[in-house]
Amino acid sequence: MSVELDVFVGNTTIMDEEVYQLWLDGYTVNDAVKVRMEGGVMDECEASKDVLLSDTMDQYRTFQMCERLLHSPAKLANQLLFQIPPHRQIMLIERYYAFDDTFVREVLGKKLSKGTKKDLDDISAKTSVTLKSCRRQFDNFKRVFKVVEELKGPLVENIRQHFLLSDKLARDYAAIVFFANNRFETGKRKLQYLSFQDFAFCAGQLISNWTVGAVDNMVEDMDVDLDKEFLQELKELKILITDKDLLDQHKSLVCTALRGKTKVFIEMEGSFKNLSRGLINIAANISLPLRLYPCRSDRWSAADMKLYLTHYTNSAHILDTFKHQVVWDRYMGVVKSCIFKMYHD
Amino acid sequence: MPGKLKAKIVAGRHLPVMDRASDLTDAFVEVKFGNTTFKTDVCPKSLNPQWNSEWFKFEVDDEDLQDEPLQITVLDHDTYSANDAIGKVYIDIDPLLYSEAASVISGWFPIYDTIHGIRGEINVIVKVELFNDLNRFRQSSCGVKFFCTTCIPQCYRATLVHGFVEELVVNEDPEYQWIDRIRTPRASNEARQRLISLMSGELQRKIGLKVLEMGGNAVVGYLQCFDLEGESGLVVRAIGTACTLDKLSSGSAPNTNTHMHPNTAPASNACNSPSKDGKEPVFVEDLPSSSGPPTPFRALPTSSSPPPFSPSKPCSRQSSSSDTDLSLTPKTGMGSGGSAGKEAGPLRTLLRQQTQTALEQREFPFFTLTSFPPGFLLHVGGVVSARSVKLLDRIHNPDEPETRDAWWEEIRQEIKSHARALGCHAVVGYSESTSICEEVCILSASGTAAILNPRYMREGCLDIGCTDHRFEEPSPPNCGFCHIPYDELNMPFPAQLTYCYHCRRQKVPDVLFTTIDLPSEAAVAGKGCLIQARLCRLKKKAQGEANATAISNLLPFMEYELHTQLMNKLKLRSMNALFGLHIQISVGENMLLGLASATGVYLTALPAPGGIQIAGKTPGDLSSEHISSIQKRINDTIAVNKELYQINPPELAEEGVGSPIPEPRHRSRLFRSHSESSDELSELDLSHGKKDAFVLEIDDTDAVEDIHSLLIDAPPPTGFYSCNTENMPGISNWTSGVQMFTSVRVLRLSNANLTNQGLNKIFTDLCENLLKSFYFKLRSMIPCCLCHLNFTVAVPEEELIQVTVTAVAMTYDKEQTQEKTAEKPINKGSLEAEEQLQFPLELCADSSSSNIQTASKISGVGESTNMSPRAASVDYGSFADRCSTWLELLRLKAHTIRRGSVKTSRRTQSLAHSVSSLERCSPLQEGRSRSLRSSRSFGGSSVTVVKMTPLSFLPGTRIIKYLGIINMFFIRETTSLREEGGVSGFLHSFIAEVFAMVRAHVAALGGNAVVSYSMKECVFMENPNKNQAQCLINVSGDAVICISETDQESSASTANTGQTGGSETDGAT
């Protein structure tokens, strides 16, 4: 005796958020049932394991049928097959496009190609995110990337409108797209301590200040591609380290301002040249902006860093012979906030 | 050329990719009606084409308009090869054919393909211009409204109920035609879908014609079914109740909008009662006028002149049935001249004869309705049912479906005679069904024998209501229907009668089984609950005649056992009545399945059920210890159930119970038989011989098993209630949460040598597990009630059992239940008031003496009516009756007058239901109920949301417009079963697709809900080895526009009791 067929269909599609999460997390039906049993759901309504199994199967089927629609979330709202209340639709989409920070950290800045997809089982093993879930997340990245690639207008807004995501999630996706597009490497060992959110913040800064879109908001890829003219101009900042006079002048200005305000002054003074060189070199060779790392030192506190950078930036304005004030601000504004973000444990 | 149909194809969206190379589609559309086809331009390379076509115009007969669907086919243009079909949309344009319903069909329809399912959507606009909408219809019956709802639809008023209409059409099934061997599955499926669509259109038209002939304008309780007889053909049959409905204008709607309209019965009672001092005998002054309008009475004796009654269908059976009638009516009328014959007065006889004759004129005095306006139903006799086993043979001439007609006629006659044996002249809550396996077919019909109020049978009755209702028995509305309609001394079956626990005047049975919904005015204690009896019987495989005989031999035993189970389960829950009883017997190759579902309830008018006693027949077999342990379990279960369903009936007052209440005995209200084995079976005594029904004897291990299985039924978890009727007894304060669902489960029996016991267990578990699954899935809706739980069983293949369930879960407000309880004392108080009234004896004597002439006069009328020599005699029993009815009137009157001012001292917990029923007639409580309704809004405002419910109402809303009937038939087939997720995946998406298509059609009609939704057919066949499966689904319902009760409240601030009166009210509070 066996159950040959077992379905339950509601006029309003019934979805349990807990089961949805288990499905998204790539649990098999049996594993999901186990998890649910442990979660104590059996105590409600005197359910038995069979009931739970049947319910889980039903829901998994529903989600599978919905998945096609979730690939283009706008369809979910005007499809006729499932009657899903609007707030549920939002939940479905938001959760479907949500990702694990540990997973995204692994693929951030990598090309969203088949090659990377083949490596997903390694990533799955490393992050202990199930392969199924890895695939879904990876495909989401790729799908979003593909769609916004061809769209004009602001990146975040495009993602939000096209995939009906929340502002927060849309920004995260913008960062992912931005990194994937510019292939900024984030896998370096020195950067390992940085979370996805740190990177996402930096990407946000870059998008709003350094991309083409920061000047012109009607071009294609405006938020994905960096402003080339600006990058050219950045090269001219080199004068701050190549011109010995400027360098000295800058240093003394900064040191004067800093003296007595920090415990690590000596160190700051000593490493000024290196630091300055580091910062300016990034500007000259922007494809690796995340070499901002040199600023990091175990002994500087965040406040020290902040103090230092503020004065470092402001002092440059006082330099008479330094003519690139606008570029400098555009550059240092972003660098400063990125460094602040990264300067944590 | 009486009609012009216009269609415009606007756009498509989400089309499938038909050209792999470009990932796009070149779509165009064919629009077909009858034999005319139009095409749109090709919209190249788009998955979201915009056609914006011209208006395609079809000039057609209205007959075709009724029969044919508009067929829209979406295709992919292919320059070099044949165009590929993407899918189809069938649009039933019937809703456009009557003026009150929809005026345009416009919206997005899913494009459906029988192989691929839904493939995108298409936006279509359809309009109809009828050239002459006068009643010059010959073959067409445009303008007759159809309702699936089995009560008088909200926003209508029934001025007349004409009665039963039925029709069937037959055809060959395309699936079994020779051509099927050479055409594709798709073509075959489409031919079938189209044929069935045509046939149901034709059927509806023919029924409409009958209704027009009767003088009606609507069919309520329309029930259409398919019999897929395989080789022998396809039968589409329908039954319904013809009515004349008046649309209530929106202004007056709140007054009169529902089927439980208060102005029908209570108001007339008030009108009926004597002047306020209560001393003037009412009959003296009333009598002349009653014999005054002579037509109805004079017309009665001769069946040749039926004018006063609208149904003019001449019927050949008239003579024979009135023969039987004569032998029955006098029995009830005169036979009980003795002491107990309170119900046998001449007035009553007259009344009955009047109604009876009215009904006699119909071939079948049947009503498919299950709930009625108050006062419509006078008495309920019990369930009548009939079954017949037939061997199918090929339908030779589709135009002459005589065989099938004759079969049903036979069954209906049987039902009719059963009803008569119960002293009833009508059958309500009537339904018919079939179960087919290969060439064997079981036809079943069942209903509830009842006596109806004649007022509703006569033309213009409601307008001149005041002259009629004096014949009405002023029995209290909340118990009157329980009073026995049959003669006590001539009972059709052994029964234990007691005086009604409410009015103490009339006799009531100890248990009552019915197929109808609980009358809104009925007084109940506690909550109701779903009660099911389940049974499996193995049978030998056989062919033809032998098989049919084997089945018909099994049937009585199955019915007996189902009945016993029901009775025991009812006792176990400490209840005494069943409503909505539906017994389904399904036939398979090697077994029969029986499933009886009903809603148990405790009617306070009926005696309290006793317990169940266990006795060992042969004491040596089982230790008394064992028996006592079982006994204890049973007693515990009863106690638990009493608690669970809050059954605390009002305690008996010591006085007034005329006869001692003996230990009630089990007895049956179930009448059935089947034609093959004829008479002897119909007389089968279901009362368990002379044994006391409460004693369950354990004589073997089987009996032990049976008792164990009784106790298996788990009560629903906390927060859940369940019923299979329209209204949940004891709950009326619905909130807006509504979740309709369909669930299908198929079990494969792998064990080759199963016993009946083993099968029973499997089947019971299957049903119980389904219920458990529902409770679990719907747990977020707690507190909630599963209403209208409709189980259908089938044996699709030798070792498969299929159970299909459709129901609706509705949330209710727990706190308001308590509020209601707090309200109860008021009600109780009024009861007390009634009892406190002391009528001086002389009043009684007075009236009786002054009534002598009255009575004789009345019986004189009776005499002329039924030509019976016995009718002339006046007996004293009738005086007693006269007095009591009159007294009753006085009391009723006093009851209404004093209601407001009585104090509440009687200690009893009463019943939410009696409260609500009083609420309905009492303006005093109106404010209260209105405040209870408070502000509850209905769902989202989005147009696309379409709610569905198998009930006739949606809680918290009021139906303002019926847009037409939805009746759809779909076939889905797959040759890639595994790829579609196996059988479950396949059926899951198909059911979801069916829902989607229903919703889309309703939305296109401008509606936002489907009420009285039902899935009539769900036939599933699979062949996993070939990776194939096929499924047929037929659904129906009423498309409506409903608005939130809070919205209307402002517009109808003058709203009054009428609004609180409907089933909708139950949803409202």
Task: Assign residue B27 the CATH number of its domain.
Answer: 2.60.40.150
Nearest CA in chain B to A2: B748
Task: Give the domain-ending residue among B84, B99, B132.
Answer: B132
From B776, B983, B988, residue closest to A55, measured CB to CB? B776
Based on the fold, state whether residues B372 and B489 are members of the same structural domain: yes
Based on the fold, state whether residues B167 and B238 are members of the same structural domain: yes
- Interface check for B6 against chain A (CB to CB < 8 A): the answer is no
Poorest-confidence range of A244-258, B151-165, B476-490, B998-1012? Answer: B476-490
Instruction: Pick B107 or B733 by higher pLDDT.
Output: B107
CA distance B591 to chain A (A): 16
Based on the fold, state whether residues B367 and B512 are members of the same structural domain: yes
Model pLDDT, residue B989: 93
Bridge partner list, B812: B734
Query: How many other C-beta atoms can be found within 10 angstroms of the C-beta atom of residue B23?
Result: 10
Instruction: Pick B199 or B350 by higher pLDDT.
Output: B199
- Residue B504 banded pLDDT, cuts 50, 70, 90: confident
CA distance B210 to B322: 24
What's the pTM value of the predicted model, to 2 decimals? 0.78
CA distance A169 to chain B (A): 26
> Do residue B743 and residue A4 have CB atoms under 8 angstroms apart?
no
Model pLDDT, residue B353: 55
From A8, A13, A80, residue closest to B121, measured CB to CB? A80
Best of A2, A3, A8 to disrupt the B interface (most B CBs within 10 Å) is: A8
DSSP state of B519: P
Based on the fold, state whether residues B150 and B205 are members of the same structural domain: yes
Based on the fold, state whether residues B10 and B105 are members of the same structural domain: yes
For residue A9, the chain B residues in CB contact (below 8 A) are 741-743, 988, 991-992, 995
A/B interface, count of CB pairs below 8 Å? 134
Radius of gyration of chain A (CA): 25
> Do residue B714 and residue A46 have CB atoms under 8 angstroms apart?
yes
Poorest-confidence range of B636-650, B775-789, B792-806? Answer: B636-650
Task: Give the domain-ending residue among B132, B159, B192.
Answer: B132
CA distance A309 to chain B (A): 54
* Any domain includes B172: yes
- Quick one: what percent of chain A has pLDDT higher than 90? 25
Q: Could you tell me if the ipTM is greater than 0.90?
A: no
Best of A80, A90, A91 to disrupt the B interface (most B CBs within 10 Å) is: A80
Nearest one of B935, B930, B926 to B1046, comparing CA atoms: B935
Q: Could you give the 3-state DSSP secondary structure of residue B136?
A: coil
Q: What CATH number did the domain enclosing B157 receive? A: 3.30.110.70
**C-alpha dihedral sign at B688, B691, B694, B697:** negative
DSSP state of B232: G
For residue A71, the chain B residues in CB contact (below 8 A) are none
For residue A5, the chain B residues in CB contact (below 8 A) are 744-746, 802, 983-984, 987, 1020
For residue B747, the chain A residues in CB contact (below 8 A) are 1-4
Size of chain B in residues: 1069
Rounded average pLDDT over B890-904: 34
CA distance B420 to B381: 10
The pLDDT tens digits of the residues spanning A137-161 come to: 999 999 999 888 877 778 888 899 8
Instruction: Pick B1065 or A294 by higher pLDDT.
Output: A294
Nearest CA in chain A to B981: A61
> Do residue B776 and residue A44 have CB atoms under 8 angstroms apart?
yes
Based on the fold, state whether residues B107 and B69 are members of the same structural domain: yes
> Do residue A79 and residue B14 have CB atoms under 8 angstroms apart?
yes
Poorest-confidence range of A4-13, B441-450, B497-506? Answer: B497-506
Window 702-721 of B: residues touching A by CB (8 A cutoff) are: 714, 717, 720
- Residue B875 banded pLDDT, cuts 50, 70, 90: very low
* Any domain includes B1036: no
> Do residue B988 and residue A62 have CB atoms under 8 angstroms apart?
yes
Instruction: Tell me how far the alpha carbon of residue B795 is from its chain's centroid.
Output: 24
Task: Give the domain-ending residue among B108, B132, B156.
Answer: B132
* Any domain includes B244: yes
Reply yes or no on whether the pLDDT at B652 is more than 60: no
Which residue range is the domain that position B203 belongs to?
144-248+361-461+478-517
CA distance B808 to B601: 20
For residue A7, the chain B residues in CB contact (below 8 A) are 743-745, 984, 987-988, 991
> Do residue B992 and residue A82 have CB atoms under 8 angstroms apart?
yes
Number of domains comprising chain B: 2
For residue B751, the chain A residues in CB contact (below 8 A) are 1
Reply yes or no on whether the pLDDT at B135 is more than 90: no
From A14, A47, A65, residue closest to B772, measured CB to CB? A47
Query: How many other C-beta atoms can be found within 10 angstroms of the C-beta atom of residue B292?
Result: 9
> Do residue B987 and residue A5 have CB atoms under 8 angstroms apart?
yes
For residue A52, the chain B residues in CB contact (below 8 A) are 776
Poorest-confidence range of A316-320, A334-338, B309-313, B633-637? Answer: B309-313
Angle at B468 between CA B463 and CA B473, to 5 degrees: 130
For residue A4, the chain B residues in CB contact (below 8 A) are 746-748, 800, 983
* Any domain includes B434: yes
For residue A86, the chain B residues in CB contact (below 8 A) are 940, 942
* Any domain includes B376: yes
Nearest CA in chain B to A15: B777
Nearest one of B343, B666, B662, B669 to B493, comparing CA atoms: B669
* Any domain includes B429: yes
- Residue B801 banded pLDDT, cuts 50, 70, 90: very high
Instruction: Pick B775 or B644 by higher pLDDT.
Output: B775
Window 104-163 of B: residues touching A by CB (8 A cutoff) are: 108, 110, 118, 121
Reply yes or no on whether the pLDDT at B670 is more than 50: no
Window 49-108 of A: residues touching B by CB (8 A cutoff) are: 50-52, 54-55, 57-58, 61-62, 64-65, 75, 78-83, 85-86
Q: Whole-number mean pLDDT of chain B?
A: 71
Instruction: Tell me how far the alpha carbon of residue B705 is from its chain's centroid.
Output: 34
Q: Tell me which amino acid residue B946 is.
A: V
CA distance A209 to A336: 12
Based on the fold, state whether residues B215 and B160 are members of the same structural domain: yes
CA distance B787 to A97: 38
Place of tokens 């960062």: A175
Based on the fold, state whether residues B82 and B159 are members of the same structural domain: no
Q: Tell me which amino acid residue B724 is.
A: N
Based on the fold, state whether residues B486 and B429 are members of the same structural domain: yes
> Do residue A80 and residue B984 have CB atoms under 8 angstroms apart?
no
Residues 6+ apart with CB under 8 A from B431: B223, B239, B368, B445, B446, B447, B515, B582
Nearest CA in chain A to B776: A45
> Do residue B985 and residue A61 have CB atoms under 8 angstroms apart?
yes
The pLDDT tens digits of the residues spanning B396-409 come to: 666 666 788 888 99
Based on the fold, state whether residues B47 and B151 are members of the same structural domain: no
For residue B714, the chain A residues in CB contact (below 8 A) are 46
Based on the fold, state whether residues B56 and B163 are members of the same structural domain: no
E strands in B781-826: 784-794, 800-812
> Do residue B983 and residue A5 have CB atoms under 8 angstroms apart?
yes
Residues 6+ apart with CB under 8 A from A232: none
From B741, B746, B1000, residue closest to A4, measured CB to CB? B746
Residues 6+ apart with CB under 8 A from B940: A85, A86
Based on the fold, state whether residues B163 and B104 are members of the same structural domain: no
**The token pair that represents B396 in the structure block:** 């030779």
From B745, B774, B989, residue closest to A5, measured CB to CB? B745
B925-928, long-range: CB < 8 A, 24+ apart: B925/B823, B925/B826, B926/B1056, B926/B1057, B926/B1060, B928/B823
Instruction: Tell me how far the alpha carbon of residue B597 is from its chain's centroid.
Output: 13
DSSP state of A63: H
* Any domain includes B30: yes
User: For strand B947-948 and strand B1009-1023, is the pairing parallel, antiparallel, or unpaired?
Assistant: parallel
- Residue B912 banded pLDDT, cuts 50, 70, 90: very low
The pLDDT tens digits of the residues spanning B337-372 come to: 333 333 334 444 555 555 555 555 566 889 998 888
CA distance B40 to B243: 43
* Any domain includes B35: yes
CA distance to B20, B30, B191, B366, per residue, from B117 (Å): 19, 19, 16, 40
For residue B977, the chain A residues in CB contact (below 8 A) are none
* Segment holding B191, helix H or strand E: helix B185-214
- Residue A115 banded pLDDT, cuts 50, 70, 90: confident
Give the phi and the psi of residue B254 in degrees, each rounded to 5.
-60, -25
CA distance to B201, B246, B416, B475, B1002, per residue, from B95 (Å): 12, 18, 34, 42, 10
Greatest alpha-carbon span in chain A: 91
Window 763-792 of B: residues touching A by CB (8 A cutoff) are: 769, 772-779
